[in-house]
Amino acid sequence: MVKPTEQIYANYQIEDFAVWSTLYNRQIGILNDAVSQSYLDALIEVNFTADKIPDFNELNQLFKKTTSWQIEVVPNICPENKFFACIADKVFTSTCWLRTMDQLDYLEEPDMFHDVFGHMPLLSNKNYSNFFTAFGGVALKYIDNPIAIQLLSRIYWYTIEFGLIQESNNLKIYGAGIISSFGETKNAIDDSTNKHPFDIEKIIDSPYRTDIIQDKYFIIDSFEQLYSSIGDIEYFLQQKLA
C-alpha cells in the first residue's frame, strides 16, 4: 500500500467511512465512563462524529482559532528529529490513511484513527497543548544525543501515549495510545494493572515495549501538573546524563 502524503478527502472510499464509524462507535462505547472529561469536551470542540472522517483543512482552521496547532500529513511514523521539531513549532504530524476492516483489532503501525481520534482532540486543550510544545522544545535540545532521546521517549510514552489522570477522585484515561485502542482501554481501567503516581525520575527509569499491552501506568493530577513538570524533566534528564 502506497501511503498518501496529503489528505485528499474525495479519495476516501465506502470502507474507509465504515472503518472510521466502527472504530469510533466502539471506542466511544467503552471510553465514555473511562476517559478524561477534558478529552470528551475536546471531542466536541473538534466536532468529531462517527459518520464523518475528520477533514484536516477544517481542523487547521479550528486550531488556528484556539491553540494554533496545524496538521502536517506524513505517510508513516515521523522520524524523531522531524517529529520533535514539528511539535515544538505546534505542527502535529499525522497519517491520513485508515486500516481495513480485517485490521480493526491490531495494526503494526499507527493509522489516522490513532493519530486523529487519539491525539488531536486534546490539542485544543491549553495546558495539554503547552506541555506537548514545551516537551518538543526540550527534546530538540538533545536531538543529537541518542541516550537523552531514549530517556525522553519514556516520558512521552507514559504521558502523551499512555497517561492516566485523576479527576474528581476517579481515575481516567488521557493517553492517545489507550484512547485509540479497545484492548488498551480495557487494560488501563482494570484494577489489576500497575499504576503509579506521576514521578519524572521513576518514569525516566522505566523502559517500555511497543509490541505488548502495557503493564505500567503513571497518574497525573491535572494537565497543569503535566505542564509544570517541564523543569523537572530537564533536571532529571541532566542528572542521568551527567
3-state helix, strand, coil in the chain (%, to 5): 55, 10, 35
pLDDT at 29 over 80: yes
Q: Give the pLDDT confidence score for residue 190 in this predicted structure.
A: 87
| Backbone torsions φ then ψ of 71, nearest 5 degrees | -105, 135
Q: Give the three-state DSSP class for 9.
A: helix
d(CA 85, CA 68): 16
Please tell me whether the overall predicted TM-score, pTM, comes out greater than 0.75 for this model: yes
Query: What are the residues whose beta carbons fall under 8 Å from the beta carbon of 129, sequence distance 6 or more?
Result: 67, 69, 90, 122, 123
What percentage of the chain exceeds 70 in pLDDT? Answer: 99
At residue 36, does pLDDT exceed 70?
yes
Find the helix or strand (DSSP H, E) in which 172 lies: strand 170-173
Q: What pLDDT does residue 79 have?
A: 85
Q: Which residues contact 213 (CB under 8 A, 6 or more apart)?
A: 183, 184, 187
Mean pLDDT of 205-233: 95
φ/ψ of residue 180, rounded to 5? -90, 5
For residue 191, pLDDT beyond 90:
no
Q: Which amino acid, residue 68?
A: S
Question: What is the set of domains in the chain, with CATH numbers?
Answer: 9-241 (1.10.800.10)
Q: Supply the pLDDT for residue 1.
A: 61
Confidence of residue 185 (pLDDT cuts 50, 70, 90): very high
Secondary structure (3-state) at 125: coil
What is the C-alpha separation between 67 and 188, in angstroms, rounded?
A: 29
How many Å apart are CA 22 and CA 227, to the nearest integer?
Answer: 34
Q: In the chain, pLDDT over 90 holds for what percent of residues?
A: 83
Q: Is the pLDDT assigned to residue 152 strictly greater than 90? A: yes
How would residue 2 be classed by pLDDT, with cut points 50, 70 and 90? low
All three cell numbers of 110: 499507527
Does residue 111 or residue 233 have the better pLDDT?
233
- Looking at residue 164, its pLDDT comes to 98
CA distance 162 to 177: 6
Q: What is the mean pLDDT of residues 71-93?
A: 91
Helix, coil or strand: residue 211: coil
* Mean pLDDT of all residues in 154-169: 96
Give me the mean pLDDT over the 129-137 stretch.
96
- Give the mean model confidence (pLDDT) for residues 161-169: 95
pLDDT score at 46: 96
Where does the pLDDT of residue 200 fall: very low under 50, low under 70, confident under 90, or very high at 90 and above?
very high
Average pLDDT over residues 15-22: 96
Judged against a pLDDT cut of 70, whether residue 134 lies above it is answered with yes
Report DSSP letters for 13-81, one per residue: -HHHHHHHHHHHHHHHHHHTTTB-HHHHHHHHHTT-BTTBPPPHHHHHHHHHHTT--EEEE-SSSPPHH
Report d(CA 220, CA 167) in Å as an integer. 9
